[in-house]
Structure 1
Amino acid sequence: MASKVLNVFYKDDDILMEAVKKVQSKNYRIEEVFCPFPVHGLDKLLKVKHTRLAITSFLYGLVGISVALTMMNYIMIIDWPQNIGGKPSFSLIENLPSFIPTAFEMTVFFAAHLMVITFYMRSKLWPFKKAENPDPRTTDDHFLMQVSVGNNDIQEVAEFLNTTGAVEIDLKK
């Protein structure tokens, strides 16, 4: 049987932050918090793990620069070498200074585009996906904290949450 969850609404981000501290001090489990805008410090309070997207961005940048250098080596040195401005194309190393702008652009291109794709896949934001927002007010002016009741009495948990400054409490549907 699934655990029951209470939806607790707040009107102010400062009240929400204090409520999170109080709920955690009572050892109730906070399932999720929905906010209309980013709340500074909330991720630290909820002990959200740091993202590894920066590591993937670096790896995608390495892929981009590898593709760029391989492409330029094949096109400008192997397949169609040209003497441009008195600079013969005998090796990649000799012509590397002229290849740097293109290599940089390809690095940024690969990192940016693959990061967007990775972010959407990791967030499960597929095209035409129905929104998973539990209440439309959380995109406007309300903050929603979902608290798991667990083995506790629902009435007892709701009474405690009322003392935290909640404007509305209801059982998750």
Structure 2
Amino acid sequence: MSKIIHAIYNDDDILMNAVKEVRKQHYHIEEVYTPFPVHGLDKVMGLPYTRIAICSFIYGLVGLSVAITMMNFIMIEDWPQDIGGKPSFSYIENMPAFVPIMFEMTVFFAAHLMVITFYMRSKLWPFKKAENPDVRTTDDHFLMAVDTGKSEVKDVTDFLATTGAVEINIMDNEDAH
């Protein structure tokens, strides 16, 4: 059974170098916990690019479509009104007045659906128990969780000690989260 090793660092530059070294040795990094965003860490870890921008664009198009459909139905088909002498015969004639509504609905749908998508993708549900393995990572320490896989635990811990880790803890795979 593989073990998870928690290597704790006290500097983000040391952490970045350690991640590079661990990846060179082909050990599997389960997760890295940091008290603040570390620029470039995702690239060093080899994480794939996010597709959330594509989702945002699609959600914006959905919001724009809802806005156009809503305004056409409400202001042209269902209850046409003469507001300030403006004609209400077609959507195109009134479109300049509808631009703010189209913009706001596009932003509204993109923003709200992006938040929902982020929470679903990150598995952050209401009342979910925190998965932070060490509370010091919310203050001033950095933790890299490395799966030993088929490697010997001693070999991995000895290697992590050379990367500048100030503390190394060995956890069972089910206890690590």
Q: Give the structure 2 partner of residue 123 of structure 1.
A: 122
Instruction: Give the Cα separation in 1 of the matches to 2:54 and 2:123.
Output: 19
Q: Would you say 1:143 and 2:142 are equivalent positions?
A: yes
- Post-superposition offset of 1:76: 0.8
- Post-superposition offset of 1:148: 1.5
Q: Give the partner amino acid of 1:129.
A: K
Instruction: Give the Cα separation in 2 of the matches to 1:103 and 1:27.
Output: 50
Alignment of 1:69-148 (within 5 A): 69-148=68-147
Cα deviation, 1:95-147, whole Å, max 9, x if unaligned, reads: 11111111111111111111111111111111111011111111111100111
Percent identical across equivalent pairs? Answer: 70
Q: Give the partner amino acid of 2:130.
A: A
Instruction: Give the Cα separation in 2 of the matches to 1:101 and 1:32.
Output: 43
Secondary structure in 2 matching 1:7: strand
- More displaced, 152-161 or 99-108? 152-161
Q: Give the structure 1 partner of residue 167 of structure 2.
A: 168
Q: How many residue pairs get matched?
A: 172
Q: Which runs of 4+ in 1 moved over 2 A?
A: none
- Post-superposition offset of 1:24: 1.6
Instruction: Give the Cα separation in 1 of the matches to 2:114 and 2:64.
Output: 15
Secondary structure in 2 matching 1:107: helix
Instruction: Give the Cα separation in 2 of the matches to 1:27 and 1:67.
Output: 49
CA contact (8 A) 2:20 2:45 kept: no
Q: Give the structure 2 partner of residue 26 of structure 1.
A: 25
Q: Give the structure 2 partner of residue 45 of structure 1.
A: 44
- Post-superposition offset of 1:47: 0.8
- Post-superposition offset of 1:92: 0.4
Q: TM-score normalised to the size of structure 2?
A: 0.93
Secondary structure in 1 matching 2:47: coil
Any unmatched runs of 5+ in structure 1? Answer: none
Instruction: Give the Cα separation in 1 of the matches to 2:68 and 2:17.
Output: 53
Secondary structure in 1 matching 2:6: strand
What CA RMSD, in Å, does the superposition of the two structures yield over aligned residues?
1.1
Instruction: Give the Cα separation in 1 of the matches to 2:163 and 2:99.
Output: 58
- More displaced, 102-111 or 77-86? 77-86
Instruction: Give the Cα separation in 2 of the matches to 1:107 and 1:140.
Output: 38
